[in-house]
Amino acid sequence: MKRLVVLVEGDGDVLAMPALVGELLTVLPDDFQGQLFLDNAPMKVGGLHQISGRRQGDLVRHLGNATKRSKLGAALLVLDGDVDRFEGQPFCAVEAAREIGQRATAAGAGRTFSFATVFLRQEYESLIIRVADQLPDLKKGVTLPSQPEEGPRDAKGWLHESLVDGYNPADRQLELTRAVRDWAPVHEMRCFGRLQHALTELAAAVATDQHVVSPQARTS
């Protein structure tokens, strides 16, 4: 088995992402079970702006630190996708992920380990909003947004206003993740499907010893 290191945006993600990714690893196709073990100490890299533009070298630095962990087979970068622009251009999750993947090759991605980038739209909390009717302290009468990938833009704020006990990522992101009994409704979200697909790609790469960078760069 090879190590999977997850790189995340904030403190709440550091706590919650292992619970979510760990759950998804258990439902990978049978052929890819037992290929990856999850490193339960995600690396916090900050938002997209902290690993791009003039700070794009920080991405390589973070990945270099990841390679120091034994038996590294794959690295998964999961960031919020609620930004408007990426290095002067309108933000496109696919194109930004491709560019990040290309830069990650400087740290050995695609050669000595596999790498995938996933943007959650609008953010991690958007997944929670999709299944907020399962949360024990959802206020009565609250109507769930029909398309949480499109809005609310401030998913954290929506949770704070809609839950009896409010919401703070560092305190409650893991708690709410664990409170979800059925993730099936989230499967309808494209960003969640991308996360599932990325994990499958990483596990397949380890199984076949053919390292990948996902999404792939354009061929023309």
Write out pLDDT tens, residues 156-190: 999 999 999 999 999 999 999 999 999 999 999 99
Q: What are phi and psi of 84, to 5 degrees?
A: -95, -35
3-state secondary structure of 7: strand
Instruction: Give the pLDDT mean for 199-220.
Output: 92
Q: CA-based Rg of the chain, rounded to a whole angstrom?
A: 17
Quote the Cα angle for 24-96-75, to 5°: 40
For residues 47, 179, 20, 165, the Cα torsion angle rounded to the nearest 10 degrees is 10
Flag whether 57 is in a domain. Answer: yes
With bands split at pLDDT 50, 70 and 90, how would you rate the model's confidence at 218? confident
CATH, residue 59: 3.40.50
Residue written as token pair 């929506």:
158
Quick check: 51 and 83 in contact, CB under 8 A? no
- Rounded Cα gap, residues 97 and 207, in angstroms: 23
Share the mean pLDDT of the chain: 97
- Which residue range forms the structural domain that includes residue 24? 2-124+185-214
Flag whether 7 is in a domain. Answer: yes
Q: What are phi and psi of 118, to 5 degrees?
A: -130, 130
Quote the Cα angle for 201-205-210, to 5°: 140
Q: Tell me the Ramachandran region of residue 7: left when phi exceeds 0, alpha when psi lies from -120 to 50, beta otherwise.
A: beta
Quick check: 13 and 124 in contact, CB under 8 A? yes
Flag whether 6 is in a domain. Answer: yes
pTM of the predicted structure, to 2 decimals: 0.96
- Rounded Cα gap, residues 220 and 166, in angstroms: 48
Flag whether 33 is in a domain. Answer: yes
- Rounded Cα gap, residues 58 and 82, in angstroms: 21
Flag whether 170 is in a domain. Answer: no
Report how many domains make up the chain: 1
Write out pLDDT tens, residues 1-51: 999 999 999 999 999 999 999 999 999 999 999 999 999 999 999 999 999
Flag whether 84 is in a domain. Answer: yes
Flag whether 168 is in a domain. Answer: no
Flag whether 83 is in a domain. Answer: yes
